[in-house]
Structure 1
Amino acid sequence: MEYNTTRDKLLIPEYGRNVQKMVTYMMAIPERDTRTRYAEMIRDLMATLNPGLKIMEDYKHKLWDHLYVISDFKLDVDSPFPAPSREEMFRKPDPLPYPQTKVKVRHFGKNLNSLIERALAETDEDKRKNLTQLIGYYMKLSYINWHREPVHDDMIKNELSVLTEGKLQYEQGGYRVYFDNRQNFESNKNNKNRNNGNRNKGGGQQQQQQPQQQQRSGGGSKHKKFKNRFKELLLQ
């Protein structure tokens, strides 16, 4: 019995051992034209075994690079692409730098600083007030997404006043953010209704769920209006 520990190491395991054996056999062929023809057939087989590469624009170049790796960079054929070097193929990418942006209040996110700067730079008083109200609405959404609990307008007003040193004052009641703390309860209730409907084979439960879905879907249009209004003010 032959164990994998006694076999040659698979240079690219995704293509399997049979492809590596084909490459080894192809490299032993003395005629260069024949080797090239065998290499092209192996490349087509590799494309079949790894169809995800076809999404890439230069997937043929990638397949030839893989073929060179499987041959341990000893492949000597007429390739349509230059032979890659070992250092080029196994070079590690440069480390990504850490972001240097300091977030004053994490649950509001780093985009809040850009929004505040945009509002402070606005000279038109009406646009500045509108931007302030939209920033307050954005702070409400961020707070709810972070803490999963409703927030009062007084807190948003105080937070914005502290962040801007009193230069921006949020007016209460500008926008309302709907917070549904019954999400888990509604999902469990819908599951029970669905199970009861399957048992009874009746449509009454579905008719009862439609008004609830319509009520919960009302906030989507408000969010779209807010986003469109915000874009209009920023582009002005």
Structure 2
Amino acid sequence: MEYNTDRTHLYMPEYGRIVQSLVERCKTLEDRDERNTMAKAIIDFMGQRNPQLRDEENYKHKLWDHLFIMADFDLDVDSPYPIPPKGERMKKPAKMEYPALQGDFKFYGKSILQLIEKAIALEEGDEKDALIEVIANNMKKSYNIYNKEHVTDDVIFRHLKELSENRLDLTGIDSLEKSKIYYSATKNKNQQNKNQGQSQSQNGNRNKQRNQQNQQNKTRRK
């Protein structure tokens, strides 16, 4: 009985032992033309066993790279692509860059930084003021959701000033309401409450009229 521990290391398990054995067989062929022919046949077989690779960009190039990996980079064939260096496979991946917004202000999200930069780039005017109001409004919502507590407006103003490196300053405003940041939201909410009240009042009037009509009909029958 042959155990896996006695076999050649399976460099890419997703291709299975059959493909690994074919690669090992290809390495033993002495004639270069035969090796080239078998290597191309192995590439076609690998593509058939992994059809999902065909949806990727340069999938043929990846298949040839996988072939050399399974051969432990010891396969003398004519590849249509540059042979990857052996040491590159052992190289650790580059460290991912984290968003700049970290620490005490990470709950605001990176999009807030982008909006702040956009607001700074705008010329003074209504458009810039409106965008700053939107930024402060969203900052307050994010703070309340993340910290699960109410935050005062002056804290939001200080955070905005610090995030913008003193280029956006609302610290002279008493509150978000006075800066009209919540004006549109409050207006919409009040309008909804008003519409709901009107709807309830209209329904009440209809019910009252319906009751009166029913009472009149009963009186006529008598």
Moved more, 3-12 or 162-171: 162-171
Shift of 1:38: 1.1
Structure 1 residue 40: Cα displacement: 0.8
**SS of 1:106's equivalent?**
helix
1:93-108 paired onto structure 2 within 5 Å: 93-97=93-97, 101=101, 104-108=104-108
Q: Provide the C-alpha distance between the structure 1 equivalents of 2:74 and 2:106, rounded to a whole number of angstroms.
A: 54
Residue 147 of structure 1: how far off its partner (Å): 4.7
CA contact (8 A) 2:24 2:71 kept: yes
Question: Given that residues 136 and 157 in structure 2 are in contact (C-alpha distance below 8 angstroms), is that contact kept between their aligned partners in structure 1?
Answer: no
Deviations 1:192-233 (A, max 9, x none): xxxxxxxxxxxxxxxxxxxxxxxxxxxxxxxxxxxxxxxxxx
Kindly indicate whether the alpha-carbon contact (under 8 Å) linking 1:11 and 1:70 is maintained by their aligned counterparts in 2: yes
Q: Are residues 125 and 22 of structure 1, via their aligned partners in 2, closer, same or farther at CA, if it must alter by over 3 Å? A: closer
Match of 1:176 among 167, 181, 185: 185
| Greater displacement, 88-97 / 26-35 | 88-97
Partner Cα separation in structure 2 for residue 101 and residue 107 of structure 1 = 9
C-alpha distance 106-57 of structure 1, shift in aligned 2 (>3 A): closer
CA contact (8 A) 1:122 1:128 kept: yes
Bigger mean CA offset, 128-137 vs 156-165: 156-165
Residues 60-92 of structure 1: CA deviation (Å, up to 9, x unaligned): 111111111212222122221232221233332
Does residue 1:66 correspond to 2:75, yes or no?
A: no
Structure 2: unaligned runs, 5 residues or longer: 162-168, 189-222
Aligned equivalent of 2:204: none
Alignment TM-score, normalising by the size of structure 1: 0.60
Supply the distance in 2 between the matched residues of 1:141 and 1:132 (Cα, whole angstroms): 14
Call closer, same or farther: CA 1:137–1:22 in 2, change over 3 Å.
same
How many residue pairs match? The answer is: 174
User: Which digits, 9 at most, give the CA deviation of each residue in 1:119-174, with x for residues without a partner?
Assistant: 4565424223312321233224423543567x6xxx46323333335156633532
Match of 2:154 among 152, 158, 161: 158
**Cα contact 1:36–1:77 (8 A) shared by 2:** yes
Name the counterpart of 1:199: none
The answer as to whether partners of 1:43 and 1:64 remain within 8 angstroms in 2 is: yes
Aligned amino acid, residue 55 of structure 2: I
SS of 1:92 mapped into structure 2 = coil
Structure 1: give runs of 5+ residues left out of the alignment: 179-236
Q: Aligned equivalents of 2:117 and 2:156: distance in 1?
A: 12
Q: Which residue of 2 aligns with 1:115?
A: 115
The residue that corresponds to 2:165 in the other structure is none
Q: Secondary structure at the match of 1:176?
A: helix
Of the two, which has the highest radius of gyration?
Answer: 2
The equivalent residue for 2:52 is: 52
Given that 1:133 and 1:175 are in contact with CA atoms closer than 8 Å, whether structure 2 keeps it comes out as: no
